[in-house]
Amino acid sequence: MKQLLQNMRDGQTAVVDVPVPQPRPGTALVRTQASLVSAGTERMVVEFAEKSLVGKAQSRPDLVKQVINKALREGILPTIESAFNRLDQPMTLGYSSAGIIVEIGPGLQGFKPGDRVVCAGAGAAVHAEYAVVPQNLLTLLPDPVDFESGAFTTLGAIAMHGFRLAQPQLGESVAVIGMGLLGLLAAGIARAAGCQVLGIDLDPARIALSTRMGFQAVPRADAEQAAQAFTCGRGFDTVLICADTKSDDPVELAGLIARERAMVVAVGAVGMRVPRKIYYEKELDFKISRSYGPGRYDRAYEENGQDYPIGYVRWTEGRNFEAFVQLLASGAVDVKPLITHRFAISDAPQAYELITGRLKQPFLGVVLTYPAEQESAPLTRVEVSAPARQALVSGSLSLGVLGAGNYATAMFLPAIKKTGQVNLSVIATASGVSAQHAARKFGFQSASSSESDVLHDPNINLVAILTRHNQHARQVITALENGKHVYCEKPLALNATELDQIQSALAGLPQPPLLTVGFNRRFAPLALQLKDFLQGRQEPLAAHYRVNAGFIPASHWVHDAQQGGGRVIGEACHFIDFITFLVGAPPIFVTAHALPNQGRYQQDNVLITLEYPDGSLGSIAYLANGDKSYPKEHLDVFCAGKIAELDDFRQLTLVENGKKRQLRSTQQDKGHAASWQAFLRAVSQGQAHIPYDHLWGVTRASFAAIESLEKAARVPLGE
């Protein structure tokens, strides 16, 4: 299918052939019929992408600070590579569309194939021939409403939410500053609600259009005088600022034309310096409208389909969509006069030349159109013309990859490309977009949106699983049962039941393939030298691992017990494994304590104590409450008159018999490439990459740490 993508590194806006995405639980696959280009949000994205590196840095100094801190921690070269990798990721454009449902995912309620719908949301209602849209971002489109009109629904909901925040009453006066697309929609909503509306704009053409649509509108120069006449000297009850400008003039004007104790709502992106004297003397209320309404930016609502009870939240973003569609169906709001340009999806880059001013043409509503019917069945797998593709190696392993997120593209895929030794067959992601990009960049033969193209392809005998944590166990079992060697990024499983199922599946195979987990730190060069330093020890060791993990917002998927499993299971397993590697056996007891969450943290300030069969002790301080500019990892090991200090995988200090030896690495190396190379050797030689008792023991130890937190008890580990 064709999809419009933005490259944030080189600024190119292009239509690309990508696999058709697959509907997930609680979503629908929609064949797009029309989508609306946002002259505000999308223009800003494109203009940022087109800036030079210096220009990008000047516009986002917050990100520059993060890059500098990362360089100080990890070295300049890895930081540069990471920054360019993030910029190189394709960005989807679009957030307002309409189309026809062709397939529904499990658990989707109230929709069926063939339904006409409007779609909302960045990353969902994208400019593409097909889109996967979650339940709460879908609204049925009545037959009388055409798809092009329906494509305005998301923007209409933005205007509607701003109007609702003001809580106007029937017959009240409303001023709309900025009669562009958003302003005209807001004016139409206010009129439909029985309010008296005056529009204000700088552009004579927009004033003329407003007049043709039945609104009274005046230029900025006449606004104060017109406001006096329009309101009989009382001032406006509500002022909606729908302009798009860095100037503070709209906010000042709103204060001048509002009545005492009126409501001013900033719906558009404008300068925010509020003149105190004007607002103080009238005791004005000033609000900033946040997008479509309640539910926006709430992952539970938008992605997981958890609605808010109507008795407590009357107007969610979804109910705002419904209300706007009803206005379209009744004819109370007509958006057809707002459409000034139409472009076929194949010509979509011209739309962005228009909204960024290159074509030097006036515009308002810009709509992308799509074929009414597809000529052939939608493809989940597409061949990729990859200039970087490696020559196939006869008789070698053929690799399929599931997942192409930031870790995959920044760490894993560069390592396997550099290593070679495998045929890069298929890479698959749920959306298909990142798969297509990664396939071209790293030289895979094809890209897919279906995991089946990897897990069930008889030509693939090696699978790398880099998906979200809740997918790991199921995908591991399917791959093993299909005879494929598996390299699974941590964690292996999210709970004991999943781990039991993996162990049973592996044990039940007559000639089981090799399974491993991406515990890469044990393969790092400095880690191997530390292990050699402790070789032949006759006493238990004591190891303390301090991890400055950094804060992650509560809304992040890794904190979701169902998707990510939390940070102890999702990441602290790395450090349990590293101490287990040094000891040489899995732990037998685990105890954990956590700082109070205080409404900010998610059990990610944790002290974990590990007890090992030989009496060794390991302690892990996994902390989210530190400063990210400080190095992330530090390990101290004491054993039999020896001391070892590993500082963030950049320096290893070894002390013995009064002598100190320091080993340094110019760049941080946590063993990603070495782990993959060791796995390929293990597969070819029929040996274990990491001992299975370590894989099971480390994974169960992470579960035990959570159990210890819940029970406030020391937890023993069985087989």
- Helix (H) or strand (E) segment spanning residue 702: helix 692-711
How confident is residue 79, by pLDDT bands cut at 50, 70 and 90?
low
CA distance 153 to 483: 49
Q: Which two tokens stand for residue 204?
A: 């004579």
* Per-residue pLDDT tens over the stretch 220-237: 999 999 999 999 999 999
Sign of the alpha-carbon dihedral angle for 580, 584, 586, 590: negative
Domain boundary among 322, 353, 369: 369
Asked whether 230 and 198 are in contact (CB, 8 A), the reply is: yes
Domain boundary among 463, 486, 513: 513
CA distance 251 to 242: 10
Q: Do residue 280 and residue 356 come from a single domain? A: no
Q: Do residue 494 and residue 427 come from a single domain? A: yes
- The number of angstroms, rounded, from the C-alpha of 409 to the middle of its chain's C-alpha atoms is 15
* Per-residue pLDDT tens over the stretch 37-54: 987 777 667 666 666 655
Task: Kindly state whether residue 321 falls inside one of the protein's structural domains.
Answer: no
Q: Which of 19-33, 41-55, 581-595 has the lowest mean pLDDT?
A: 41-55
**Taking 60 as the threshold, does the pLDDT of residue 469 lie above it?**
yes
Asked whether 27 and 132 are in contact (CB, 8 A), the reply is: yes
Q: Do residue 76 and residue 185 come from a single domain? A: no
**Taking 60 as the threshold, does the pLDDT of residue 719 lie above it?**
no
- Helix (H) or strand (E) segment spanning residue 101: strand 96-104
Interstrand relation of 381-383 and 446-448 (parallel, antiparallel or unpaired): antiparallel
CATH no. for residue 604? 3.30.360.10
Domain boundary among 265, 288, 311: 288
How confident is residue 528, by pLDDT bands cut at 50, 70 and 90?
very high
The total of structural domains in the chain comes to: 4
- The number of angstroms, rounded, from the C-alpha of 5 to the middle of its chain's C-alpha atoms is 16
CA distance 347 to 304: 34
Task: Kindly state whether residue 436 falls inside one of the protein's structural domains.
Answer: yes
State pTM to two decimals: 0.86
- Identify which of 93, 155, 590 has the alpha carbon closest to the alpha carbon of residue 348: 93
> C-alpha distances in angstroms, 372 versus 147, 264, 369?
11, 43, 9
- Both ends of the chain: CA-CA distance in Å? 50
CA distance 252 to 225: 15
Main-chain phi, psi angles of 546, to 5 degrees: -105, 125
CATH no. for residue 362? 3.90.180.10
Q: Do residue 351 and residue 412 come from a single domain? A: no
User: Dihedral (C-alpha) 573, 432, 22, 412: value to the nearest 10 degrees?
Assistant: -20
- Identify which of 365, 162, 166 has the alpha carbon closest to the alpha carbon of residue 268: 162
Average pLDDT over residues 428-437: 92
How confident is residue 357, by pLDDT bands cut at 50, 70 and 90?
confident
CATH no. for residue 234? 3.40.50.720
Average pLDDT over residues 405-424: 90
Average pLDDT over residues 175-204: 97
Main-chain phi, psi angles of 253, to 5 degrees: -60, -40
Task: Kindly state whether residue 505 falls inside one of the protein's structural domains.
Answer: yes
Tokens 């990603």: give the residue.
672
Q: Do residue 88 and residue 180 come from a single domain? A: no
Asked whether 429 and 404 are in contact (CB, 8 A), the reply is: yes
How open is the CA angle 438-89-359, to the nearest 5 degrees?
Answer: 120
**Taking 60 as the threshold, does the pLDDT of residue 80 lie above it?**
no
- What range defines the domain where residue 542 resides? 521-668+691-716
- Identify which of 435, 421, 429 has the alpha carbon closest to the alpha carbon of residue 392: 421
Q: Which of 46-50, 250-254, 589-593, 627-631 has the lowest mean pLDDT?
A: 46-50
Q: Do residue 6 and residue 67 come from a single domain? A: yes
3-state secondary structure 177-222: ECCCHHHHHHHHHHHHCCCEEEEEECCHHHHHHHHHCCCEEEEHHH
- Identify which of 592, 573, 524, 609 has the alpha carbon closest to the alpha carbon of residue 695: 573
Q: Can you give the pLDDT at residue 54?
A: 59
Q: Do residue 531 and residue 645 come from a single domain? A: yes
Residue 489 CB neighbours (<10 A): 22
**Taking 70 as the threshold, does the pLDDT of residue 622 lie above it?**
yes
Q: Can you give the pLDDT at residue 499?
A: 98
Amino acid type, 640: A
Asked whether 717 and 700 are in contact (CB, 8 A), the reply is: yes
Average pLDDT over residues 632-657: 97
Task: Kindly state whether residue 311 falls inside one of the protein's structural domains.
Answer: no
Q: Do residue 348 and residue 425 come from a single domain? A: no
Neighbour-count burial of 233, counting CB atoms closer than 10 A to its CB (0-12 exposed, 13-18 middle, 19+ buried): exposed
CA distance 400 to 32: 30
Amino acid type, 217: A
- Identify which of 132, 122, 229, 117 has the alpha carbon closest to the alpha carbon of residue 175: 229
Sign of the alpha-carbon dihedral angle for 525, 519, 433, 447: positive
How confident is residue 125, by pLDDT bands cut at 50, 70 and 90?
very high
Task: Kindly state whether residue 502 falls inside one of the protein's structural domains.
Answer: yes
Q: Is 326 helix (H, G, I), strand (E, B) or coil?
A: helix
Average pLDDT over residues 265-279: 96
Q: Do residue 105 and residue 133 come from a single domain? A: yes
Q: Do residue 115 and residue 182 come from a single domain? A: no
Q: In whole numbers, what is the pLDDT of the chain averaged over residues?
A: 92
Task: Kindly state whether residue 430 falls inside one of the protein's structural domains.
Answer: yes
DSSP alpha helix (H) spans, 630-691:
672-685
**Taking 60 as the threshold, does the pLDDT of residue 178 lie above it?**
yes
Q: Can you give the pLDDT at residue 646?
A: 98
CA distance 267 to 158: 8
Work out the percent of the chain whose per-residue pLDDT is above 70.
91
Average pLDDT over residues 23-29: 95
How confident is residue 420, by pLDDT bands cut at 50, 70 and 90?
confident
Q: Do residue 509 and residue 528 come from a single domain? A: no
**Taking 80 as the threshold, does the pLDDT of residue 76 lie above it?**
no
> C-alpha distances in angstroms, 656 versus 312, 533, 534, 643, 661?
67, 10, 11, 7, 9
Task: Kindly state whether residue 377 falls inside one of the protein's structural domains.
Answer: no
* Per-residue pLDDT tens over the stretch 374-403: 655 678 888 886 554 554 454 579 999 999
How confident is residue 73, by pLDDT bands cut at 50, 70 and 90?
low
Q: Can you give the pLDDT at residue 173?
A: 98
Task: Kindly state whether residue 679 falls inside one of the protein's structural domains.
Answer: no
Q: Do residue 421 and residue 527 come from a single domain? A: no
**Taking 60 as the threshold, does the pLDDT of residue 693 lie above it?**
yes
Q: What is the DSSP string of 357-423?
A: TTT----SEEEEE--SS-SSPPPSEEE---TTPPPP-TTSEEEEEE--SHHIIIIIHHHHHHH--EE
